[in-house]
Amino acid sequence: MSPVTPPAIDMPTTGPHWPGSKPLAVHPAVPVRDPAFVSRVFWLGLALVLLWPLGVATEFRLWVLWEPDNRKVTADFVRSFWPLVHDAEFLQMLARETWRTVAMATAGVTLALALAIPLSLLATRVLSLSALSGRMDRGPAALRWCVRAVLVVLRSIPELIWALVFVRVVGLGPTAGVLAIALTYGGMLGKVYAEILESGESHATQSLMRNGSGRLQAFVYALLPSHAAELASYTVYRWECAIRSSVVLGFVGAGGLGQQLDNAMKMFNGGEVGTVLLVFIALVALADRVSAWLRKALA
């Protein structure tokens, strides 16, 4: 309680010296070593040790970028960006392809909704009738677990892989892209919808179900109104992501801006690449703005 009293033995003094301060003698229990230092050094060392094999596995040799041939190729490519291609025909074609990209994303997300809504209703635990009286029965729990597993698998496979597969089934064109987006985003939307429905209060839903209403009725009358804003907001956000995805899918033949970019890069036509990139960045920025505005309006 009282400040440290100096021991009787004459001990070396430490501590700050201020004008007029009495030098306090060092109490034998004063710690001088930082106990966390060893573990910090260990973790730092571990991180550094792990970096080496990672660098080897990825053939990470940054200096390769500065090799004379690579530098020349890069410089030539960057120089070919200017002047940007801006003739009317090309820009008209880009406008058409931009619309196709947006259309692909919209159609994909619409089909994804058709997939996600039923699956999320099946997967959410809030609409379980057996859980109203304590624990959920085994059968319904297993069903929900299976549906969740399906959703997780759907969302784990990148849409590019789906697109690669579908291109071989339905041929080149936007159909493959729309189906790929529909499956992947169906999984994503379904999983997040199920989580959103489970978050928050389920009192209203449960009262309706306890009083004998059907599950779908309880959903429409109780769950949906309370979560509609969040669900809609997330869907709008996903639509914006889908626009980015559909550009990526263009690289495997699904059409749209991505295909134009792929063609331009294969021909090393820097001017076209630059224009398409700029149009793409503008499109993403616009979609970002629209999505943020819609989400604010929904909140």
Exactly one of 251, 263, 269, 271 binds other proteins (CB under 8 A); that residue is 251
Exactly one of 94, 122, 248, 279 binds other proteins (CB under 8 A); that residue is 248
d(CA 234, CA 240): 10
Stretch that binds other proteins, among 50-58, 84-92, 128-136, 203-211 (CB under 8 A): 50-58
d(CA 253, CA 247): 10
Q: Compare residues 44 and 142 and give the one whose CB is closer to other proteins.
A: 44
**Least CB distance to other proteins at residue 130 (A):** 28
Is residue 179 part of the contact set for other proteins (CB under 8 A)?
A: yes
| Phi then psi dihedrals of residue 139, to 5 deg | -60, -55
| Of residues 190-229, those binding other proteins (CB under 8 A) | none
Structure tokens at 240: 């914006």
Is residue 92 part of the contact set for other proteins (CB under 8 A)?
A: no
| Of residues 52-91, those binding other proteins (CB under 8 A) | 53-55, 57-62, 64-65, 70, 73-74, 77
- CA–CA distance from 3 to each of 6, 19, 25, 27, 140 (Å)? 9, 19, 12, 11, 66
**Least CB distance to other proteins at residue 122 (A):** 22
**Least CB distance to other proteins at residue 85 (A):** 17
Residue pair 243/101 in contact by the 8 Å Cβ criterion = yes
**Least CB distance to other proteins at residue 231 (A):** 14
Nearest-Å Rg of the Cα atoms of the chain is: 31
**Least CB distance to other proteins at residue 262 (A):** 7
d(CA 177, CA 181): 6
| Of residues 9-48, those binding other proteins (CB under 8 A) | 14-16, 18-22, 24, 26-27, 29-37, 40
Can you state the percent helix, strand and coil of the chain, rounding each to 5?
75, 0, 25
Query: Residues near 98 by Cβ (< 8 Å), separated by ≥ 6?
Result: 256, 257, 279, 283
**Least CB distance to other proteins at residue 53 (A):** 7
Is residue 144 part of the contact set for other proteins (CB under 8 A)?
A: no
Is residue 231 part of the contact set for other proteins (CB under 8 A)?
A: no
d(CA 267, CA 246): 22
Is residue 164 part of the contact set for other proteins (CB under 8 A)?
A: yes
Exactly one of 93, 146, 161, 216 binds other proteins (CB under 8 A); that residue is 161
Which residue has 């050094």 as its token pair?
41
